[in-house]
């Protein structure tokens, strides 16, 4: 790929747009779900999405909460908080069971999205190969 | 015209005619005949009247409208008859009964609608009268169950036919649930609802027969659910109400209040079907609900738990084994006419365990914990490799990791897509505005990549390797994506965003755009 330096910014921008479109499609694909509504709202208001960090947030959360009595409970709470942050619109969900429901649905939708994007990438890659060969 | 419809309907009724499917749909006459057996001849005349009047209206209304279906059964599927008859006779010892009935039911319709209706009634009479004369109980009931279900399927199809065109979607709908009626893994939350309706319809006199009850519910639900889902026409609801009313009639005059409430619930569920969008992923896990509930419970308590379960299924789409409070917040948008009118909605029937406190707080706490653990089990199934770990904290860790990895994958793949095809452009403002204005007209100028993931997942996931070898020209023709049709019915608006040929200049662009246009 030539002009990598110049195209990098454009690439990033385009990839972000692709991702946005993917998210929109994802959100629209399962309506009536809290996380999908939150995702759409987020897009609409152009809130910059939190980048998922590589470090596990649970550790961060535990530090925030401090070591109090019942460390096990705190660990659980920390993890629940982390999950709340991961699932779009999760912070508004108070009860654990609803959060888990939304998480399950979100996971399913994400799986579908990943497989679709992967298939699409494979398809386009195949095109490139045939085109490059001719 | 009818022949064309016959052609269209053929794949669907192929599935209908397959034996296991017919086994599932013989509930109407089951009701009659079980009553017969249980109450001997005391109610025979009564039942005949009851049975025949709803069947009369069934036949008049539905057979007239669904005429092509009977013709289909009779004419187009003679080979299936040959297959069916030996199957049916093999299924039970009594050979005269099924043959006569099938003969009546399936060969006659070719001749005329009214004749068919009358044939049906005469067949009914023969059926009704013969069990009283025949001694054996078990074989007959099974056979008759099959036949009844087939009749019921006629009524069902009569239900569906008036305003439904021949969608290939029907085939998929029917095939998924009907192909496995003996197992309880039917697709979607309909299964849950079917079990509700099982319990409701079969509440009063038929509690003893669980398998029959399941089939009854399946049949009724298929009729109602199919009717509700496949074409959201208001006439559908009226038809469903009629079906429900006739169910109420047939369920027995003695249990009229329960039957009427059951029919109300049926109607409500049908309406709810109309309102909801159905998820494609099967979630039929709550099998335990049906056996436990259909075994002899008191009808009112059963209806309580059923209504709760019904609402739970409607609300969450997830399976709950324990009765739960209705979750209204999730369905705030769908809830218009969905809730069945049940007074004791909000009670949770929980049994206190031995050695545990029985005050309300701890009970509620326990229910809450059970619900949470149930959700965790669900998540455990979703997240791969989570079966071995135990304990909430570790599981939560795994779930978090999995969600993070999925999100990272999405990012990575979007980057990869951006590199792969430089012409892929995404007009997110347009997409957003579309979202806001709910416009369904595809925009001509801009290039839209809808990337409706959930739908394209099904289509594209099967194609990548195959299409990689084809030259791009033949790609268009080979991109026949049959599942798209019924997927389009499911996610109605999303597939309206068609990719427009917005790449005027480049050569490679038409490939991707055409590929996506084919969707």
Cα-based distances in Å from B302 to A102, B200, B244, B311, B349: 29, 8, 19, 14, 11
Residues with Cβ within 8 Å of B385's Cβ and at least 6 positions away in sequence, in order, are B398
Of B396, B424, B494, the CB nearest to A83: B396
How far is it, in rounded angstroms, from Cα B399 to Cα B27? 44
List, for residues A99-118, the tens digit of each pLDDT value: 888 888 888 888 988 898 88
User: Which chain B residue has the Cα nearest residue A73?
Assistant: B393
> What's A90's DSSP letter?
G
How far is it, in rounded angstroms, from Cα A13 to Cα A15? 5
Min Cα separation A63/chain B (Å): 16
List, for residues B95-110, the tens digit of each pLDDT value: 444 444 444 444 444 4
CB B226, CB B169: distance < 8 Å: no
Cβ-defined contact of B277 to A32 (cutoff 8 Å): yes
Cβ-defined contact of A17 to B426 (cutoff 8 Å): yes
Average pLDDT over residues B288-315: 43
CB B179, CB B189: distance < 8 Å: no
List, for residues B181-201, the tens digit of each pLDDT value: 444 444 444 444 544 444 444
Both tokens of B503, joined, read: 């790449």
Among B210, B220, B198, B205, residue whose Cα is nearest residue B303: B198
Among B178, B126, B179, B140, residue whose Cα is nearest residue B156: B178
User: Which chain A residue has the Cα nearest residue B280?
Assistant: A30
List, for residues B56-90, the tens digit of each pLDDT value: 444 455 444 444 444 444 444 444 444 444 444 44
pLDDT of residue B405: 92
CB pairs under 8 A between A and B: 236
How far is it, in rounded angstroms, from Cα B498 to Cα B58? 42
How far is it, in rounded angstroms, from Cα B104 to Cα B108? 6
Among B230, B78, B51, residue whose Cα is nearest residue B156: B230
Q: Of the ranges A9-23, B45-59, B230-244, B465-479, which one carries the lowest mean pLDDT score?
A: B465-479
Average pLDDT over residues B150-156: 54
pTM of the model: 0.37
- Give the number of other CB atoms < 10 A from CB of residue B291: 14
Say if the ipTM goes beyond 0.85: no
Average pLDDT over residues B26-43: 59
- pLDDT at position A125 over 80: yes
User: Which chain A residue has the Cα nearest residue B370?
Assistant: A97
Greater confidence (B175 vs B140) lies with B140
Min Cα separation A119/chain B (Å): 5
> What's B500's DSSP letter?
P
Structure confidence at residue B122 as a pLDDT band (50, 70, 90): low
Query: What is the dihedral angle through the alpha carbons of B37, B39, B42, B44, rounded to the nearest 10 degrees?
Result: -40
Region for residue A40 given its phi and psi (left: phi exceeds 0; alpha: psi -120 to 50; beta: otherwise): alpha
Both tokens of A90, joined, read: 């999760």
Chain A residues whose CB is inside 8 A of the B455 CB are: 29
Average pLDDT over residues B370-385: 85
Structure confidence at residue A37 as a pLDDT band (50, 70, 90): confident
Average pLDDT over residues B354-383: 84
Percent of chain A at pLDDT exceeding 70: 60
Greater confidence (B172 vs B376) lies with B376
Length of chain A: 134
Q: Indicate if the alpha-carbon torsion angle B436, B439, B445, B448 is positive or negative.
A: positive
Place of tokens 């951006």: B418
Cβ-defined contact of B318 to A101 (cutoff 8 Å): yes
Percent of chain B at pLDDT exceeding 70: 12
Q: What angle do CA B83, B85, B91 make, to 5 degrees?
A: 105
Average pLDDT over residues B404-417: 88
Q: What angle do CA B503, B508, B509 make, to 5 degrees?
A: 25
List, for residues B425-442, the tens digit of each pLDDT value: 655 555 555 555 554 444
Among B103, B120, B113, residue whose Cα is nearest residue B51: B120
pLDDT of residue B13: 46
How far is it, in rounded angstroms, from Cα B400 to Cα B153? 46
Average pLDDT over residues B377-404: 83
Cβ-defined contact of A32 to B512 (cutoff 8 Å): no
CB B64, CB B122: distance < 8 Å: no
The H or E element spanning position B384 is none
User: Which chain B residue has the Cα nearest residue A2?
Assistant: B419
Of B281, B416, B461, the CB nearest to A116: B461
Query: What is the dihedral angle through the alpha carbons of B134, B137, B140, B141, rounded to the nearest 10 degrees?
Result: 140
CB B190, CB B290: distance < 8 Å: no
Q: What share of chain B is helix, strand, coil (3-state, %, to 5)?
A: 65, 0, 35
pLDDT of residue A73: 80
Of B330, B393, B409, the CB nearest to A76: B393
pLDDT of residue B482: 46
């Amino acid at each position: 790929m030539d002009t990598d330096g110049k195209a990098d910014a454009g690439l990033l921008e385009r990839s972000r747009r692709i991702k946005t479109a993917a998210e929109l499609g994802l959100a629209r694909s399962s309506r009536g779900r809290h996380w999908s509504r939150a995702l759409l709202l987020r897009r609409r208001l152009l809130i910059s999405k939190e980048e998922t960090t590589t470090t596990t947030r649970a550790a961060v959360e535990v530090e925030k909460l401090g070591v109090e009595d019942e460390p096990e409970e705190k660990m659980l709470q920390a993890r629940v908080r982390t999950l709340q942050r991961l699932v779009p619109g999760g912070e508004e969900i108070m009860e654990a069971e609803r959060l888990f429901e939304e998480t399950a649905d979100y996971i399913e939708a994400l799986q579908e999205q990943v497989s679709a994007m992967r298939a699409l990438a494979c398809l386009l890659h195949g095109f490139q190969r045939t085109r490059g060969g001719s | 015209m009818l022949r064309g419809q016959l052609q269209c309907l053929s794949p669907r009724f192929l599935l209908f005619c397959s034996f296991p499917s017919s086994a599932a749909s013989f509930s109407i006459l089951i009701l009659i005949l079980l009553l017969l057996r249980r109450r001997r001849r005391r109610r025979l005349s009564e039942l005949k009247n009851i049975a025949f009047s709803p069947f009369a209206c069934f036949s008049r209304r539905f057979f007239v409208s669904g005429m092509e279906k009977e013709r289909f059964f009779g004419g187009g599927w003679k080979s299936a008859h040959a297959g069916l008859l030996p199957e049916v006779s093999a299924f039970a010892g009594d050979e005269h009964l099924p043959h006569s009935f099938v003969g009546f039911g399936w060969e006659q319709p070719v001749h005329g609608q009214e004749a068919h209706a009358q044939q049906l009634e005469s067949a009914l009479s023969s059926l009704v009268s013969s069990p009283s004369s025949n001694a054996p109980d078990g074989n007959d009931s099974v056979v008759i169950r099959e036949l009844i279900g087939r009749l019921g399927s006629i009524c069902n199809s009569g239900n569906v036919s008036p305003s439904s065109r021949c969608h290939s979607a029907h085939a998929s709908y029917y095939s998924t649930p009907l192909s496995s009626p003996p197992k309880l893994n039917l697709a979607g939350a309909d299964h849950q609802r079917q079990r509700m309706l099982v319990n409701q319809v079969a509440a009063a006199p038929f509690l003893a027969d669980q398998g029959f009850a399941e089939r009854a519910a399946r049949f009724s639900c298929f009729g109602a659910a199919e009717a509700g889902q496949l074409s959201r026409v208001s006439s559908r609801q009226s038809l469903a109400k009629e079906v429900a009313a006739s169910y109420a009639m047939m369920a027995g005059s003695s249990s009229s209040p329960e039957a009427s409430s059951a029919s109300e619930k049926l109607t409500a569920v049908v309406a709810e079907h109309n309102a909801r969008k159905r998820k494609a992923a099967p979630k039929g896990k709550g099998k335990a609900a049906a056996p436990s509930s259909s075994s002899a419970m008191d009808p009112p308590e059963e209806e309580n738990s059923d209504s709760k379960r019904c609402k739970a299924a409607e609300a969450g789409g997830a399976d709950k084994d324990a009765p739960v409070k209705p979750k209204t917040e999730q369905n705030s948008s769908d809830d218009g006419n969905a809730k069945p009118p049940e007074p004791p909605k909000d009670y949770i029937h929980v049994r206190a365990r031995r050695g545990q406190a029985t005050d309300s707080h701890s009970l509620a706490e326990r229910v809450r914990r059970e619900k949470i653990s149930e959700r965790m089990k669900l998540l455990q199934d979703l997240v791969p490799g989570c079966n071995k770990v135990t304990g909430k904290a570790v599981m939560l860790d795994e779930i978090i990791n999995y969600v993070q990895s999925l999100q990272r994958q999405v990012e990575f793949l979007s980057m990869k897509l951006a590199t792969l095809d430089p012409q892929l452009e995404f007009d997110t403002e347009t997409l957003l505005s579309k979202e806001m204005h709910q416009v369904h007209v595809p925009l001509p100028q801009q290039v839209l990549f809808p990337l409706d993931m959930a739908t394209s997942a099904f289509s594209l996931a099967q194609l990548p390797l195959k299409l990689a070898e084809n030259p791009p020209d033949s790609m268009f023709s080979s991109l026949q994506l049959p599942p798209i049709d019924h997927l389009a019915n499911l996610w109605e608006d999303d597939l309206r965003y068609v990719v427009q040929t917005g790449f005027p200049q480049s050569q490679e662009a038409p490939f991707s755009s055409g590929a996506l246009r084919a969707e």
